[in-house]
Amino acid sequence: MKKSVVALLLAILAAGSVYAIDPGQSELEYNGWFRYLNQSTKFQVTDPTVSRSLIERNYLRASHQWTTALFSKLSLDFHSASGNYSDGATVRIKEAYLDMALPLKDFTLTAGVQKHYFGLIYSWDYTHPDKSLADAQGVCASADYGVTVNGFLPKGLGELQLGAYNGEGYKISGAKNSIAPELLASLRLTPFAGVQVGASVFSKAKDFSPYSNSAGKLSTNRKQWLLPDSANMNRFALAPMAKVAFGPVSLTGEYIMYSYTRNYGYYPADSASGTISESTRKEVTKDYAMTGIDLLPVVSLINRKLEVFGRFSTWERKEQSGDSMPVALDKSLTRYGAGFNWYFLRRAGGSKPAAMFQLAWVREQKRNEVSPGVKVDPTDTFMAQFRFEWNHVLPAP
Amino acid sequence: MKKLLTIAALAAAVTTLVAGEVLVKGSDTMLNLVQNLAEAFSTANPDATVSVTGGGSGVGISAIISNETDIADASRSIKSKEISTARANGVNPVEYVVAIDGVCVIVNASNPIEKLTIEQLGQLYQGKTANWSALGGPNKKVSLYGRQPSSGTFVYFRDEAVKAEYAASMRQMNGNAQIVEGVRGDEGAIGYVGVGYAREQGVKVVKLSKDGSDYYSPLDKAAVDAGDYPLARPLFQYTNGKAKGDAKAFIEFELSPAGQKIVEEQGFYPLTQGYQDKNNANLQ
């Protein structure tokens, strides 16, 4: 027993460090984004539906490297703009994990609130200012509570992750989490320089979101009182991806397939008063299936001072209606846009900007029609943003 | 499609590093060596300019991953994670070994200790052996001297010799010269420096053994070449794909007899035939 423990410790030492800072060191990081947003219908920039300045991101991160094999990180999300948090600062834990080197070279085990290794989410660096497609469409959150094994294949051939998460995202914790874990696997291969292919998959038997509050919830159209025992069942997502890069030009693409079955009960309510009729509880089972495509071209110019990017995304949602699965046109859309990033400063040891200006335009066209043959007007969003991010390594005491 | 290719070609032209100038970035351990090699190369090739900057091995490797330098200097080999990131960015790191660095363990010249095993060395730097008398030396407290964490040598010595964390009492010095100075003035001192700094007066090089059977000096070139000296390490350079143009010419110069003579003059070991063969294969 003693010998095997010694052998394990030696193997851990031989595995070496896979971290960026050295033992005894700590690192402080800050990410702040100040954004001006202008949203209008059909390019009516001077008559916008949204025109505001906001702090889009405000993260403070602290990490510490105990030994070559032990690392931990805490990221506090002091404010990330979202429809749910409109009143200034909020504080949430975005990351809080312990990372341990495993005996297998370049492999670690991570336990805590950490990245969600699905699709393009985990390597999303906001070269494009909007979220990754899976994140934006609610397939999964960018971080979650769980345990993962992360490793790099020899000779730079790629990386893989295996994980078990709560599966409801970092914003949902405690009593709101279901008992069923989300199981995830992700693989990315780089067989040749300039070519990366991969796929991620996750499945989760059941979760309580989105109607997890114990008192139930009035539906958005105020016609139903949804019950707290509602659940999304058999959540499953698959996302193959590919990236090609040649010199300053790269194109990343992702295809997402996502499905679940929603079981819920409800009491019909009077739409005006909200009064419910408890004697008429109804049970519903309904299938949902979604597919999406994301294409992300980037051209890097002037020694990486300037990045010009484009984006084309589609999202199609089908909802069961009787025996068929028609497309929910009001929830299906096409988005496209372009912009540029200007880097005032880059960090010497990493890809994130130290200070950067982003300018972007995105058009979103939903597929529903206001009258036969006439689609709803598209929404145009203009965004100008300064990003200011720094880090400082504190020496070992 | 034709238009797209034209745009890509134009973009590539804009971002191509200035023709005639070779940018080299990375390891501080290699900085003086590569600067001297660059000077000699530029003297022989007046049309070519080689700009060499430091910052550390990690900075050099990051720069080659993002295609911001022609050559990255590194006193450690590139990691799997870094290769994977580079390949995803369309960068194919190709490795060359340009010199051998023997990390020498030195003690004060008055210290009678002549040799140590790697295990004894580890115990010293972990702080577990606190007095030289435990190793048959004088009754003097051990004073540890080492590099700062940003140094590739700090990492290399920790991983290969200490095999655990350094004792908190180790004095972290800015460079080799400061370590020599510290050891010279402290009778209980032990330090580690590049081979170019090991022949200084007032300090003594300690022979090392992997297992306690045979002890070798880093000043014994045959022992280093044969791989018998436990703390010899290759010094690397990386290019994106096989080196081309002036970058290739510069690396070829570094590997040539003239370049290897400068390597020796700077206190490093010239390459063995095995490394030369690997380099040639990567250059062809």
Measured between alpha carbons, how far is B247 from B31 in angstroms, rounded to an integer? 17
pLDDT at res. B2 = 54
Could you say which of A17, A105, A246 has the minimum Cβ distance to residue B8? A246
Q: Would an 8 Å CB–CB cutoff place B231 in contact with chain A?
A: no
Among A78-82, B48-52, B118-122, B202-206, name the one with the lowest average pLDDT.
A78-82
- Reported pTM: 0.79
Give the three-state DSSP class for A339: strand
Residue carrying structure tokens 């400061």: B178
Measured between alpha carbons, how far is B176 from B173 in angstroms, rounded to an integer? 8
Q: How large is the angle between the packed helices B80-88 and B57-65, nearest 10 degrees?
A: 30
Number of domains in chain A: 1
Question: pLDDT band for position A215 (50/70/90)?
Answer: low
CA distances from B15 to A122, B6, B10, B20, B220 (A): 28, 14, 9, 14, 46
Distance from CA of B33 to the nearest CA of A (A): 22
Percentage of chain A lying above the pLDDT 90 cut:
58
Closest CA to A107 of A65, A142, A159, A63: A159
Contacts of B150 in chain A (CB under 8 A): 22
Q: How many CB atoms lie within 10 A of CB A214?
A: 8
Per the structure block, which two tokens stand in for B169?
Answer: 């009492």
Is A250 in Cβ contact with B90 (below 8 Å)?
Answer: yes
Measured between alpha carbons, how far is A161 from A164 in angstroms, rounded to an integer? 10
Contacts of A23 in chain B (CB under 8 A): 149, 158, 165
pLDDT at res. B1 = 47
Q: Hey, do B2-100+234-283 and B102-225 end up sharing a CATH topology, with the first three levels equal?
A: yes
Measured between alpha carbons, how far is A344 from A363 in angstroms, rounded to an integer? 27
Measured between alpha carbons, how far is A341 from A355 in angstroms, rounded to an integer? 10
- Residues 100-119 of chain B with CB under 8 A from chain A are none
Residues in Cβ contact with B277 at an 8 Å cutoff, skipping those fewer than 6 apart: none
> Kind and range of the H or E element at A94?
strand A92-101
Strands A379-394 and B143-147: unpaired
Contacts of A303 in chain B (CB under 8 A): 15, 17, 68
Give the three-state DSSP class for A91: coil
Contacts of A24 in chain B (CB under 8 A): 149, 165
Distance from CA of B265 to the nearest CA of A (A): 31
Distance from CA of B14 to the nearest CA of A (A): 6
A38 pLDDT higher than 50: yes
CATH number of the domain at A293, please: 2.40.160.10
Measured between alpha carbons, how far is B153 from B125 in angstroms, rounded to an integer? 14
pLDDT at res. B70 = 95
Closest CA to B190 of B146, B158, B151: B146
State mean pLDDT over A325-331. Answer: 94
Is B87 in Cβ contact with A13 (below 8 Å)?
Answer: no
Among A20-29, A47-56, B184-193, B233-242, name the one with the lowest average pLDDT.
A20-29
Is A349 in Cβ contact with B62 (below 8 Å)?
Answer: yes
Is B81 in Cβ contact with A159 (below 8 Å)?
Answer: yes
Output the average pLDDT for chain B.
Answer: 88
Closest CA to A368 of A316, A324, A290: A316
Is A190 in Cβ contact with B79 (below 8 Å)?
Answer: no
B197 pLDDT higher than 90: no
CATH of domain B2-100+234-283: 3.40.190.10
A214 pLDDT higher than 60: no
A348 pLDDT higher than 70: no
State mean pLDDT over A121-136. Answer: 91
Measured between alpha carbons, how far is B243 from B64 in angstroms, rounded to an integer? 12
Measured between alpha carbons, how far is A276 from A271 in angstroms, rounded to an integer? 9
Our measurement of the distance from residue B197's CA atom to the centroid of its chain's CA atoms, rounded to an integer in Å, reads: 13
Domain extents for chain B?
A: 2-100+234-283, 102-225
Q: Where are the strands (E) in B163-276, listed by range? A: 171-173, 189-194, 203-205, 207-209, 232-240
pLDDT at res. B9 = 45
Q: ipTM surpassing 0.90, yes or no? A: no
Distance from CA of B119 to the nearest CA of A (A): 13
Is B241 in Cβ contact with A303 (below 8 Å)?
Answer: no
Question: pLDDT band for position A260 (50/70/90)?
Answer: very high
Query: Contact, A350 vs A29, CB < 8 A?
Result: no
Q: Identify the residue with better confidence: B142 or A175.
A: B142
Burial of A327 per CB tally in 10 Å (0-12, 13-18, 19+): middle
Question: What 8-state DSSP symbol labels residue B167?
Answer: P
Query: Contact, A143 vs A95, CB < 8 A?
Result: yes
Is B15 in Cβ contact with A193 (below 8 Å)?
Answer: no
Question: pLDDT band for position B279 (50/70/90)?
Answer: very high
Q: How many CB atoms lie within 10 A of CB A186?
A: 24
- Residues 150-189 of chain B with CB under 8 A from chain A are 150, 154-155, 158-159, 163-165, 168, 172
- Return the half-sphere exposure (C-beta side, CA atoms, 13 A cut-off) of residue B259: 20
Is B84 in Cβ contact with A152 (below 8 Å)?
Answer: yes
CA-based nearest residue in chain A for residue B91: A193
Q: Where are the strands (E) in chain B, listed by range? A: 21-26, 49-53, 71-74, 93-108, 115-117, 143-147, 171-173, 189-194, 203-205, 207-209, 232-240
Contacts of B80 in chain A (CB under 8 A): 105-106, 152-157
Give the three-state DSSP class for A225: strand
Residues in Cβ contact with B261 at an 8 Å cutoff, skipping those fewer than 6 apart: B270
Is A152 in Cβ contact with B159 (below 8 Å)?
Answer: no
pLDDT at res. A7 = 44
Contacts of B159 in chain A (CB under 8 A): 13, 16-17, 68
pLDDT at res. B190 = 97
Residue carrying structure tokens 């369309």: B90
- Tens of pLDDT, residues B242-251: 999 999 999 9
Which structural domain, as residue segments, surrounds residue A81? 2-394
CATH class for domain B102-225? alpha beta
Distance from CA of A291 to the nearest CA of B (A): 25
Per the structure block, which two tokens stand in for B82?
Answer: 């870094």
